[in-house]
Amino acid sequence: MKNKLTLILLLIFSISLFGCSSQAAPYSPESFYMGTVINQKVYGKNAKKAGDLVIDRMKEIEASMTINTPGGEINPLNDAAGLNPVPVSPSVMFLLNKSKEYGELSQGAFDVTIGPLVKEWGIFTDNPKIPSSDKINELLKLVDYKTLLIDTMNNTAMLPMKGQIVDLGGIAKGYAGNEAIRIYKENEITSGFINLGGNVVVLGTKPDGALWNIGVQNPRDVNGKIIGKLAVKDTAIVSSGDYERFFEKDGVRYHHILDPKTGSPSKSDLIGVTIVVDSTIVTDSSTDGDALSTSVFVLGLDKGRQLVESLKGVNAVFITEDKKVYVTSGLKDKFTFDDESKVYQYVQ
């Protein structure tokens, strides 16, 4: 009798232990790099080590790729515009090549040389302004991703015209997301989540095997209100919209994604887009998702949808100005429409 009780107790103990280890709280450090809060949820025995290594890597990526503070690799490239090639690291080389690739794929909607206009509009400064059309036209002459010279033999890059500026703002956070997943995997993490200001990447499922639930933000109600949810595993979910950074003047919203054809904030029929990339199909899921979210936001619903549907492993949620929500076919069973504001209409 006593033995039996011990056995039952032991059994209960081991079940609760087992239950406990699979449900153990994640390591959830918060950091701030690349102009955004970065949240992680890392599970498993190496969680702390992996999460901290990711923070180190985020810091490194910011230092190497920013154009908002001195130093790094992109500032020297921009400073040498019209003068000479400069050496770049493999990660910058990778992103410059990717950026050119997405320039082609988006027919110029994504343009990594948009820098002179981003700077002129000053959307990231305390004094944003609307440039004159003469100024915009003058600076547009400097914007053309095709002119960026990349020498993969010598690991150098060069901007041929004085005044040109490379701006990796549309792709660097996506890359950082993929780097985080690489570090998780290297540390035998099988369950992890990272959110870099709306650029989410999940590794595996949650520890109990459940899918991750990722909210799609309501572009007009940014206090955590959502318009729907995505249930996913091994996926990058990258959003772009006119709500991330903007200023208003005379009732007009001037946001931070510029149309390289006009030199002004893009005016497509979209107010938000969320690109969903299957990491088991697309290796650089988060990097590609980031370039695509910016591209599709500029291209608008029709052209954007065409582009997304032409790519394997890539899906999207589109939110239009007239408050309609569309998803591509691959998301029909992953997306749940759940508009807390009751303003949007789900078009199926």
- Choose the one of Mg ion, ligand ADP, none that binds residue 257, judging by a C-beta under 5 to 8 angstroms depending on kind: ligand ADP
List the structure tokens of 330: 């691959």
Compute the least distance from the CB of residue 211 to ligand ADP, in Å. 24
Binding of Mg ion by 287 (CB under 5 A): no
Sheet with 235-241, side-by-side order of all strands = 30-33, 36-42, 192-196, 199-203, 235-241, 270-278, 314-320, 324-327, 345-346
Binding of Mg ion by 170 (CB under 5 A): yes
Compute the least distance from the CB of residue 292 to Mg ion, in Å. 7
Site for Mg ion in 42-61 (CB under 5 A): none
Binding of Mg ion by 36 (CB under 5 A): no
Beta carbon nearer to ligand ADP, 100 or 256: 256
Residue nearest to ligand ADP (CB): 169
Is 68 strand, coil or helix? coil
Which amino acid appears at position 278 of this protein? D
- Choose the one of ligand ADP, Mg ion, none that binds residue 258, judging by a C-beta under 5 to 8 angstroms depending on kind: ligand ADP
Beta carbon nearer to ligand ADP, 228 or 260: 260
Beta carbon nearer to ligand ADP, 35 or 87: 35
Is 100 strand, coil or helix? helix
Beta carbon nearer to Mg ion, 95 or 327: 95
Taking CA atoms, 165 is separated from 129, 278, 346, in Å, by 19, 32, 40
Q: Strands (DSSP E) along 34-186, which ranges?
A: 36-42, 86-87, 149-151, 156-158
Residues of this chain that bind ligand ADP (CB under 6 A) = 110-112, 114, 118, 167, 169-170, 173, 198-199, 240, 244, 256-258, 260, 290, 293-294, 298
Compute the least distance from the CB of residue 315 to Mg ion, in Å. 16
Site for Mg ion in 217-246 (CB under 5 A): none
- Choose the one of ligand ADP, Mg ion, none that binds residue 300, judging by a C-beta under 5 to 8 angstroms depending on kind: none
> CB–CB of 233/202 below 8 Å?
yes
Compute the least distance from the CB of residue 304 to ligand ADP, in Å. 13
List the structure tokens of 267: 């005016």
Q: Which of 62, 242, 244, 290 binds Mg ion (CB under 5 A)?
A: 290
Stretch of 132-140, 292-300, 303-311, 326-334 contacting Mg ion, by CB under 5 A: 292-300
Compute the least distance from the CB of residue 86 to ligand ADP, in Å. 20
Compute the least distance from the CB of residue 73 to ligand ADP, in Å. 16
- Choose the one of ligand ADP, Mg ion, none that binds residue 260, judging by a C-beta under 5 to 8 angstroms depending on kind: ligand ADP
Stretch of 28-36, 169-177, 182-190, 335-343 contacting Mg ion, by CB under 5 A: 169-177
Burial 16-41 (b: 16+ CB within 10 A, else e): eeeeeeeeeebbebebebbebebebb
Report phi then psi at 7, rounded to 5. -60, -45
Is 177 strand, coil or helix? helix
List the structure tokens of 94: 């990778």
> CB–CB of 131/58 below 8 Å?
no
Compute the least distance from the CB of residue 237 to Mg ion, in Å. 12
Q: What is the DSSP string of 297-330?
A: HHH-HHHHHHHHHTSTTEEEEEEETTSEEEE-GG
Beta carbon nearer to ligand ADP, 72 or 170: 170
Instruction: For strands 199-203 and 235-241, give the pairing.
Output: antiparallel
Beta carbon nearer to ligand ADP, 240 or 328: 240
Instruction: Note the residues at the interface with Mg ion (CB under 5 A).
Output: 170, 290, 293-294
